Amino acid sequence: MVGNTLREIRERIDALRAGDGRFYVVCARTGERPVPIADARFDSRATAVEAAHVAKEYRSALRRYDPSLAFRDLIVCEDQWITADDAETDADDLLSFCHDVAGVFFETLSERGYDEVERAVFDDYLDAAEVVDRDELCLELLRSLVDALDGRLTPSEQASLVASAADRLPSPDAEERDASILRSSPSRDEAGQPVDATLTRLSDVDLIAGYSVSAAGGHARTRSVTLSEYALAEDVRASVAAGEDPDARLPTLPLVVDLLRRVPSGAVAIEDATVTEDGWRLAVTTGAESPTGLVSVAVDGVA
């Protein structure tokens, strides 16, 4: 299974790492540092070059399932950080985001011995890939992942798996420094800031068209969130609005796995999902008493 391959590749890169090394690997065109080398440092140029070759193997393994995954011209840099002025905006950001998320989940499924779940993801994805538009393949991969985790794992298994997968993604500090996505954003209170940062990230990669965050009653760390044109769930929104799917669920996995990078010590809860005119409204709690809605959440109807 591809999860075994990805996990073995990551282990090879981990063996090359040096925590305070002077060298790192980036895409020459965009300044992006893709998974699985996003926050890796190396103690020599030769070691970094070797890691770059290994990272290409990781992306090649994922490309077997989605040929549209962008190629990256990986180069080795020393000490000087790539800044926003140096990097281009990449039209393939959504593709890269989806495959980064899928990749860390395949690694984690393999590590945990969930071979049947991983197989279910690919069976569902390959069936869908025969009929969906090529540009939708990366989204279909995430939908297949959500369906498999929802249908085959208990809530506690989901919570453990999602937390472990989030740990494999680059830290927000490294991502913002090296991939140059840090930007000015509206001032938020302590509880709202990580939610705002995550939604900014989802907007940057065009998974959502826009969002808002505001205080909500009931819990000091709960925020009312609206999402517009959430690409992963436009079909769900349409079916709920038309009254065609009373058992619909909103996929929350991309939001949650990014948010957990920013609040790793606390549980996340996603609740109260309703359809709005151009998207969704939901309640997001950081530091919740218990995790819920980590993969998907039941839709409560139309707002």
Report domain extents, the chain: 2-166, 183-302
For the stretch 155-194, pLDDT in tens is 999 999 999 999 999 888 655 544 433 343 444 455 568 9
Over residues 132-149, mean pLDDT: 85
C-alpha closest to that of 196 among 178, 183, 179: 183
H helical segments located in 153-224 = 155-168, 172-178, 192-204
Identify the burial level of 132 via C-beta atoms within 10 angstroms of its C-beta, where 0-12 means exposed, 13-18 middle and 19 or more buried.
Answer: middle
Return the DSSP state at 37.
S
Structure tokens at 103: 């990749």
d(CA 149, CA 266): 21
User: Look-up: residue for tokens 């359809």?
Assistant: 275
More confident: 18 or 227: 227
d(CA 174, CA 196): 18
- Please work out, in degrees rounded to the nearest 5, the angle formed at the alpha carbon of residue 263 by the alpha carbons of 62 and 203: 55
Structure tokens at 291: 């995790």
Structure tokens at 252: 């929350």
**267-275 and 296-302: which strand pairing?**
parallel
Q: What pLDDT is recorded for position 185?
A: 43
d(CA 82, CA 74): 13
Distance of CA 83 to the CA centre of its chain: 22
The average confidence (pLDDT) of the chain is: 84
For the stretch 187-243, pLDDT in tens is 445 556 899 999 999 999 999 999 999 988 767 889 999 999 999 999 999 999 888
pLDDT class of 270 with cuts at 50, 70, 90: very high
Within 8 A by CB and 6+ apart from 39, the residues are 33, 170, 171, 174, 175, 178
pLDDT class of 86 with cuts at 50, 70, 90: very low
d(CA 261, CA 218): 24
Within 8 A by CB and 6+ apart from 193, the residues are none
pLDDT class of 122 with cuts at 50, 70, 90: confident
Cα distance between the two ends of the chain: 42
- Please work out, in degrees rounded to the nearest 5, the angle formed at the alpha carbon of residue 65 by the alpha carbons of 59 and 67: 70
Q: How many CA atoms lie within 13 A of 9 on its CB side?
A: 26
Within 8 A by CB and 6+ apart from 26, the residues are 32, 33, 74, 75, 77, 82, 178
Q: What pLDDT is recorded for position 207?
A: 96
Question: What phi and psi values does residue 222 have, to the nearest 5 degrees?
Answer: -95, 135
